[in-house]
Amino acid sequence: MESSSGPAKKPAARSGGKPADKAPARAQVNNIKAEELLGRIIEIVRSQGLAGFSLDNLAPQLGTSSRMLVYYFGSKDELLGRIVYTLRNDIVTQLENEPVGTITDAVDRWWSHYQANPADMQFFFHLTSRSFEEPDKFQEFSSTAVGQWSAYFVRSLEGHVRSEQEAEAIARLVLATVRGLMADLLITADRQQAERSLAVFKELLEARLAASAKSL
Amino acid sequence: MESSSGPAKKPAARSGGKPADKAPARAQVNNIKAEELLGRIIEIVRSQGLAGFSLDNLAPQLGTSSRMLVYYFGSKDELLGRIVYTLRNDIVTQLENEPVGTITDAVDRWWSHYQANPADMQFFFHLTSRSFEEPDKFQEFSSTAVGQWSAYFVRSLEGHVRSEQEAEAIARLVLATVRGLMADLLITADRQQAERSLAVFKELLEARLAASAKSL
């Protein structure tokens, strides 16, 4: 079902090569309609998670058909991509508007958010896995999956470490670790154990920054 | 161990609940044949990775049909499960037979192994994602995905930390971090950056163990 359509015939042809064949006004209406649908889709999938996720399951809950969902969003994976980008942009933007705290504050904010929205993380791992299967289809995912969050963590490190390179290395370490622990939590459902490991990680980070502070 | 409930015995009763209708001798021949096929499959998929992985692609390379692969292994996901359990058992067993080193030695061994065999990690993330979609089908995966490796890391921590609970928390942190960094590497292909973050993580661990050593 994924390959059936490809993005090309959609109004907002993202990566397809075909020229848009709709009038601009029509495309705009389609975009508005798609945005509105996307908001409702996100509410539904966040409450239901990845289990049983399919256009066929989704369509009746939206009072539409899976054919219309393909028209607006392309394949299931393209829709999941839209969902992941939208959710990530929303939360990164929201957090960027909060006062910059320490790196452990940033870790806590990240963790609380995904702890409260585990489906967001399931979608992330789904796209990760799909990007290994069909790299060409998931270039947008691959090119943004790390950079957006690591830039957020870097902000909390500025002035606390010796170089930009060190900030980047720590930021990506933080992102990898919280994602890895969230994967552990989603797989094992052992929240206590995952949060013990998270607490150790924050201690390690704090010790590092305390040591760096002395040498700054 | 893990394969005991796997599809090995299978033609008969995988998920359908059908009673086994083959004589034991026949089942044994099937097991031997399946094991032999599995070895060849692992060689192929390790060199090709998850991209394009399907029973239809695999079968001709083995001189068999996808129908026969289903007969021996069940679905694509069941086969991937077999592959992941087999590969993980192999490497954990191999590493357990080496002298216990420090936790950073253990991290290096883990990293070198998956660095050299990125397909193994792709399969892991595929099963992770599939287990979110169909939890009931992937209980074996979920129940072993964390414990086997964390037990390996715990070994390197014995005598270096204050309690078993601390060892377990650090072990699971280590596993989450190396898996998260391997995901970063597979997604971004930025090995230098991933290894910088890994180096920082090893420094953090060493600092922690040095501090623990003083209080032991």
Best mutation site among A143, A184, A214 for testing chain B: the one with the most B CBs within 10 Å? A184
pLDDT higher than threshold 70 for residue B136: yes
Residues in A closer than 8 angstroms to B128, CB to CB, are 125, 129, 183, 186-187
Q: Which CATH class is domain B2-215?
A: mainly alpha
What is the structure's pLDDT at B22? 54
Write down the residue that tokens 């059908």 correspond to: B18
In 3-state terms, what secondary structure has residue B8? helix
pLDDT band for position A95 (cuts 50, 70, 90): very high
Helices B76-96 and B147-157 meet at what angle, rounded to 10? 10
Mean pLDDT of B36-44: 91
Structure tokens given for A109 = 């904010």
Mean pLDDT of B134-139: 86
pLDDT band for position B21 (cuts 50, 70, 90): low
Q: Does the distance separating the beta carbons of B172 and A177 come in below 8 Å?
A: no
Mean pLDDT of B112-132: 92
CB contact set of B176 (below 8 Å; sequence gap of 6+) = A177, A180, A181, A183, A184, A194, A197
Mean pLDDT of B104-120: 95
User: Rg of the Cα trace of chain B?
Assistant: 20
What is the structure's pLDDT at A77? 86
What is the structure's pLDDT at B9? 39
Mean pLDDT of B13-23: 49
pLDDT higher than threshold 90 for residue A194: yes
- Could you say which of B52, B125, B172 has the minimum Cβ distance to residue A193? B172
- Could you say which of A165, A176, A211 has the minimum Cβ distance to residue B183? A176
How far is the C-alpha of A27 from the C-alpha of A167, rounded, in Å?
A: 43
How far is the C-alpha of A129 from the C-alpha of A123, rounded, in Å?
A: 10
What is the structure's pLDDT at B213? 80
pLDDT in tens, A6-16: 343 444 444 44
User: Rg of the Cα trace of chain A?
Assistant: 20
**Averaged pLDDT of chain A:** 86
Q: CA-CA distances (angstroms) from residue A174 to A105, A170, B84, B145?
A: 12, 6, 27, 21
ipTM higher than the 0.85 cut = no
Please tell me the distance in Å from A182's CA to the nearest CA on chain B. Answer: 8
pLDDT band for position A197 (cuts 50, 70, 90): very high
Q: What is the DSSP letter of B98?
A: S
Share of chain B above pLDDT 90, in %: 58
Q: CA-CA distances (angstroms) from residue B2 to A156, A168, B89, B207?
A: 43, 39, 8, 36
What is the structure's pLDDT at A28? 75
pLDDT in tens, B168-183: 999 999 999 999 999 9
Torsion sign, CA atoms B181, B186, B188, B190: positive
Q: Does the distance separating the beta carbons of A128 and B129 come in below 8 Å?
A: yes
- Domain segments of chain A as ranges: 1-74, 87-216
pLDDT in tens, A7-63: 434 444 444 444 555 566 777 777 888 888 999 999 998 888 888 788 999 999 999
Please tell me the distance in Å from B140's CA to the nearest CA on chain A. Answer: 11
pLDDT higher than threshold 80 for residue A144: yes
Find the range with the poorest average confidence among A28-42, A57-71, B58-72, B81-95: A28-42
Share of chain B above pLDDT 70, in %: 89
Contact A51, B134 (CB under 8 A): yes
